[in-house]
Structure 1
Amino acid sequence: MSAYQHYDLLALDRPLDGDQRAEPRVLSSRASITATSFTNEYHWGDFGGDPARLMRTHFDVFAYFAEWGTRWIMISARARS
């Protein structure tokens, strides 16, 4: 059975360097990863990473939606140094 899921993570406070972009790449070979974003959609299976951990270490905003109605948003309340 297929199911559409969409993941977006944004780095607003500062861009990710090359090493920081490489870390999420291990979690998904199909994601679009830039210095300020991680975007991926799934039609089969699920994302193998932990969005909460990525928020603690790399990103400032997370948005998720799935075709069955689940919506999930996280916004970081801290500034990275």
Structure 2
Amino acid sequence: YTYLALLEQEGLLRYHQSTEYAFRMRFIFAQHYSAAIKEMGSGEDWVIDSWFFDFGSQPVIVTVDDWKAGRPH
């Protein structure tokens, strides 16, 4: 259960739905998981991740393809 699922349950996600987490593994020991959402209109999957920048910075929201490639924009 995630914060995104809670927001969805409370009706606060109008154009997206929460999905299972996103996963990438660039090297054997470089596994990474993050929150994911699906845009209802287009069906496109997005990842929300704070890993790219210092703690306390805004998380990035990028397409799954950009996230898996390690591109924060």
Q: TM-score, normalized by length of structure 1?
A: 0.27
Bigger proportion of residues as helix: 1
